[in-house]
Amino acid sequence: MYALLLALLSALLFGASTPASKALLASLEPFQLAGLLYLGAAMGMAPVVALERRRGARIRLDRTNATRLAGAVLFGGVLGPVLLLAALRLTLAGSVSLLLNLEMVATAVLGVVLFREHLGRAGWIGVVGVVAAGGLVAGTGGWPGLLGALLTAAACVCWALDNHLTALIDGITPARSTLAKGAVAGATNLGIGVVADPLLATPGTIAAALAVGALSYGASIALYIRAAHELGATRAQAVFASAPFIGAALAFAFLGEPAGSAHVAASLLLLPSIAALFLSQHAHAHVHDPVDHVHSHRHDDGHHFHDHPGLPPGARHSHAHRHGRLVHAHPHWPDLHHRHEHTT
């Protein structure tokens, strides 16, 4: 129950970022706000990273992983938030919130096209349903609404690339990759924003933007990581999928935005479509080649068999370790250990 509450709080904080950002755009330009939000995220993750350092966690980034991290910073930290904020300038925060479900679709489709992942029949049904729901929402605001939907979809594609690149990174914890993304992307976008337009926002507005970033991006991610450690990634992600609906509800409730029939219909279509995406796992015999890497893991997952005297199998920890060759079959998702070819 405790882990479930953490996942729900994480979704609440992240969902609140969209209506909060809509309000902050009254005083800040998109590049300026994107920079402040991600600098705030870095501030929010700094205590988590400091705790990891006290526990002895070390960074071991080779060139390949450093390149992946740079790509995640570019797509997920620099481009994605600016596109989203540009969309919020054009259309309702409630509509943008619901359209953020397209990130899950973009992640699934890019996984098939670029990263050798599998998506079954249920997954493709979910993809079609989410896209159809997005079409319902996009048609509610005329040309500005349509352009806002396209910008939101582009932001979701950027975050989908970020998701895949981040999933392939080992040698650095999720907290540290988030800190790096927030610091580098935040400074980049804020610098661009200040050069392009004078920063006229009051100190209170700037502090509010940093606080939204610290809570909605930094603290939300930290809570999600903690929940995923206890619930497992699949169940934690299923709970976190409520974030777009929370954001839409908050926009309708606190920004006074109208919730039309298209929003209701889209929500009713999104719920089973998202469920179908989560049901799209598969099982088959597959081979794990020998590999040396560093990542957070536990010893009851069927993939980690090295010994730690006195450490319970379910205790999550991180260190450099070696995998021998392993052949087995089990239901699985595309994660760090399951990036293999699928012929059907």
Note whether 9 and 226 are within 8 A (CB). no
Cα separation, 30 vs 28, in Å, equals 6
Q: Could you tell me the CA-to-CA distances from 238 to 61, 72, 117 in Å, in that order?
A: 30, 23, 19
Cα separation, 40 vs 46, in Å, equals 10
What's the N-to-C CA distance of the chain in angstroms?
39
Segments making up each domain of the chain, as ranges: 2-284, 288-332
DSSP character for 273?
H
Structure tokens at 4: 């479930």
E strands, the chain, in order: 282-288, 291-297, 317-323, 326-332
Give, for 216, the enclosing helix (H) or strand (E): none
Note whether 85 and 34 are within 8 A (CB). yes
Write down the residue that tokens 């914890």 correspond to. 173
User: From first to last of its 344 residues, what are the pLDDT tens digits of the chain?
Assistant: 788 899 999 999 999 999 999 999 999 999 999 999 999 999 999 998 888 888 776 667 888 989 999 999 999 999 999 999 999 999 999 999 999 999 999 988 898 888 777 788 888 899 999 999 999 998 887 889 999 999 999 999 999 999 889 888 877 888 888 899 999 999 999 999 999 999 999 999 999 999 999 999 999 988 888 887 777 666 778 888 999 999 999 999 999 999 889 999 999 999 999 988 877 665 545 566 676 656 566 676 666 667 766 666 666 666 666 766 666 555 555 555 555 555 44
Structure tokens at 233: 């990634």
User: Which 3 state secondary structure label does DSSP give 287?
Assistant: strand
